[in-house]
């Protein structure tokens, strides 16, 4: 058990295994780090230092350069503070008292935060030794609780308050646990994650590139397009099997449409705009208004519902430059949307169908997942009665399906509650991909109708859903999950043909032609290099199969097969191999291997 001072100043005991206790420990670690920095760099200015998923950070305005090598110096000072066993205490101040306090310390960022608060606010500071910080809490009760199970992990730049108009600060990331074993395990995963960085592997395998001419706008290279198209072929196949109709809507649409949908009021800061014929148009950040216009294009009957309209639409969102990260955080991406129009009676069955589809897709790649139900945010459209109906509809569907889920209060979309699917990859990292959002608002705002069995007009309910989420981000996740060693059906190159010498080059070319006519993605390594070197090169390129041909294979009209999965797979005829690999590709199989077991 661990003692924690909560946000009301009450000290309570919590289980160290709880998320709350771990988050509190990490938040206190950020304060201990800030205290160490103020001791080492007295003229530095403190911004904010929250706990985050897997750790904590603090944004610092240094008056001198601060480099990666300096993290160890800060760590050592933190260890001294831990040994001092400083009690952590809470104090409540008025706004005026807080401003005077931080004015004396010349903490300009704290002063700005305080000035944004109402005049009647009760403002709290937490103190440990000589160090005091503006903070709502909670915190551990003594610096010694942190022990030595922490690590400062990296540096990054971060604009103050996330605005590019403000100063760039130094963000120091770290993590903390209650035991050294937990810390060691996390750091091992962190090192493995560096090896799997999709930006590094994407460059090595020539999958995609980024360029300063379009920051946040990814360029897919030929190999990356093969991977992407293979993924989308699977997406189209499984959606067609599940009764979806594929559509496409324009990338640029009138501002008036976005005003009707509510996006202009709730999302315009993230939208790109242009002027056409003296009118404002917006590049779409979502696909839903386009789908709605297609729904309205013709009269609809209750017999048409559920109507499942799927669209892999390109969308643009203005992400801040400091938040861009390879394929994981971009400004242009393809959203694998679907918008489903249903009656109230069809909610449960349709949610069940969507969950079943998601389950098939995620299992295909070896992902486990957790479900989270997010409810009404403060910034929302619609009445409480409408939100009650929408939230109860999703809860009822999940309960009837017998699915466990976590409730995430206040994190729904502005037009309706949602179910989010958080995937766990091979390193047990969490990725939010799939979502199911129930919407009573947009059908009302766009006056959507269908003719019911009673001959009267009724308003449909709209489900917004994505399975992969961002296609680009999902590809980034796949790159890291498989470490670039994709299953055969996704691999840009499926077979490398390797002649032992020029004497068998003609036979190797014959094999290559047979493979390509069988629609197997293959290439020939005809370089004047040793066979062992060629095999290692193919392994570096993560190619699933290598066909080695020498005089014996030429004479017997066979191939010697090697693979990424089982090394030497023996001798066989080319026809037997084509039958084997074609079955593997058509069945979308994922083979296990020692280096990347799924």
Residue 505 — φ and ψ, nearest 5°? -65, -35
Among candidate residues 45, 70, 90, 335, the one labeled active-site is 335
For residue 355 the two structure tokens come to 């969950």
343 burial type by CB count under 10 A (0-12 exposed, 13-18 middle, 19+ buried): middle
308, 464, 473, 521: the active-site residue: 464
User: What is the per-residue DSSP string for 216-274?
Assistant: T--EE-HHHHHHHHHHHHHHHHHHHHTT-EE----SEEEHHHHHHHTHHHHHGGG--EE
CB 505 within 8 A of CB 526: yes
Marked catalytic residue, from 90, 139, 198, 317: 317
Q: Annotated catalytic, 425?
A: no
The contacts of residue 141 (CB under 8 Å, 6+ apart) are 3, 4, 5, 11, 87, 88
**Among 263, 418, 473, 564, which one carries the catalytic annotation?**
418
| From 329, 339, 473, 554, the catalytic residue | 339
Active site residue 339: yes
317 given a catalytic annotation: yes
- Using DSSP's 3-state secondary structure scheme, residue 18 falls into coil
C-alpha dihedral, 396 to 402 to 404 to 407, nearest 10°? 10
Which residue is catalytic, options 26, 171, 228, 288? 288
Catalytic choice (59, 133, 336, 337) = 337
Is 422 a residue of the active site?
no
Angle CA 103–105–107, to nearest 5: 75
User: Is the preceding omega at residue 138 within 30 degrees of 0, hence cis?
Assistant: yes
Decide the pairing of beta strands 55-61 and 45-46. antiparallel
C-alpha pair distances (Å), 92 with each of 98, 134, 135, 136: 9, 10, 10, 10
102 burial via Cβ count (<10 Å: 0-12, 13-18, 19+): buried
Q: Taking phi first (over 0 means left), then psi (-120 to 50 degrees means alpha), and beta for anything else, what does residue 470 get?
A: beta
Kindly report whether the peptide bond that precedes residue 306 is cis, defined as omega within 30 degrees of 0.
Answer: yes
Known catalytic membership, residue 288: yes
- Give the DSSP H/E element, type plus range, for residue 553: helix 551-556
CB 180 within 8 A of CB 146: no
- Catalytic, 429? Answer no
Which residues are tagged catalytic? Answer: 288, 317, 335, 337, 339, 418, 464
């Amino acid at each position: 058990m661990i003692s924690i001072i909560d946000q009301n100043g009450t000290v309570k005991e919590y289980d160290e295994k709880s998320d709350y206790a771990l988050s509190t420990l990490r938040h206190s670690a950020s304060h201990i780090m800030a205290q160490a920095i103020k001791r080492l760099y007295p003229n530095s200015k403190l911004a904010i230092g929250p706990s985050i998923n897997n750790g904590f950070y603090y944004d610092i305005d240094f008056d001198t350069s601060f480099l990666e090598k300096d993290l160890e110096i800060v760590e050592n000072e933190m260890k001294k503070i831990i040994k001092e066993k400083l009690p952590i205490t809470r104090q409540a101040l008025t706004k005026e008292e807080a401003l005077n306090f931080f004015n004396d310390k010349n903490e300009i960022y704290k002063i700005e935060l305080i000035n944004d608060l109402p005049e009647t606010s009760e403002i709290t500071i937490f103190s440990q030794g000589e160090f005091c910080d503006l903070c709502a809490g909670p915190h551990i009760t003594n610096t010694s609780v942190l022990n030595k199970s922490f690590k400062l992990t990296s540096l990054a730049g971060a604009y103050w308050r996330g605005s590019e108009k403000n100063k760039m600060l130094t963000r120091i990331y770290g993590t903390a646990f209650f035991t050294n074993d937990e810390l060691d395990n996390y750091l091992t995963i962190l090192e493995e994650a560096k090896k799997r960085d999709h930006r590094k592997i994407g460059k090595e395998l020539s999958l995609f590139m980024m360029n300063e001419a379009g920051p946040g706008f990814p360029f897919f290279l030929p190999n990356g397009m093969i991977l992407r198209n293979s993924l989308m072929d699977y997406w189209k196949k499984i959606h067609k099997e599940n009764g979806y109709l594929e559509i496409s809507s324009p990338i640029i649409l009138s501002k008036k449409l976005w005003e009707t949908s509510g996006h202009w009021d709730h999302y315009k800061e993230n939208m790109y705009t242009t002027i056409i014929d003296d009118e404002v148009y917006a590049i779409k950040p979502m696909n839903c208004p386009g789908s709605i216009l297609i729904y309205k294009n013709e009269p609809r009957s209750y017999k048409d519902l559920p109507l499942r309209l799927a669209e892999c639409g390109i969308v643009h969102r203005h992400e801040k430059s400091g938040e861009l990260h390879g394929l994981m955080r971009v400004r242009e991406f393809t959203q694998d949307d679907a918008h489903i129009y249903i009656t109230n009676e069809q909610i449960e069955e349709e949610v069940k169908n969507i969950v079943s589809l998601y389950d098939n897709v995620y299992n295909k790649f070896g992902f486990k997942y957790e479900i989270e139900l997010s409810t009404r945010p403060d910034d929302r459209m619609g009445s409480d009665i409408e939100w009650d109906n929408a939230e109860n509809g999703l809860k009822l569907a999940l309960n009837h399906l017998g699915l466990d889920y976590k409730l995430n209060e206040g994190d729904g979309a502005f037009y309706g509650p949602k179910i989010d699917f958080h995937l766990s990859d091979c390193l047990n990292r969490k990725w939010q991909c799939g979502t199911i959002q129930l919407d009573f608002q947009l059908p009302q705002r766009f006056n959507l109708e269908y003719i019911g069995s009673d001959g009267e007009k009724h308003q449909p309910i709209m489900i917004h859903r994505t399975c992969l989420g961002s296609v680009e981000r999902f590809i980034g996740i796949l790159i890291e999950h498989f470490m670039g060693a994709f299953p055969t059906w996704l691999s840009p190159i499926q077979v490398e043909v390797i002649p032992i010498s020029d004497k068998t080059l003609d036979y190797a070319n014959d094999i290559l032609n047979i493979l390509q006519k069988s629609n197997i993605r293959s290439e020939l390594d005809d370089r004047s290099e040793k066979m062992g070197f060629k095999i290692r090169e193919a392994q570096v390129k993560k190619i699933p199969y290598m066909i080695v041909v020498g005089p014996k294979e030429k004479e017997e009209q066979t191939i010697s097969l090697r693979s990424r999965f089982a090394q030497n797979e023996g001798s066989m005829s080319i026809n037997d191999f084509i039958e084997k690999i074609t079955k593997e590709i058509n069945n979308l199989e994922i083979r296990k291997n020692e280096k990347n077991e799924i």
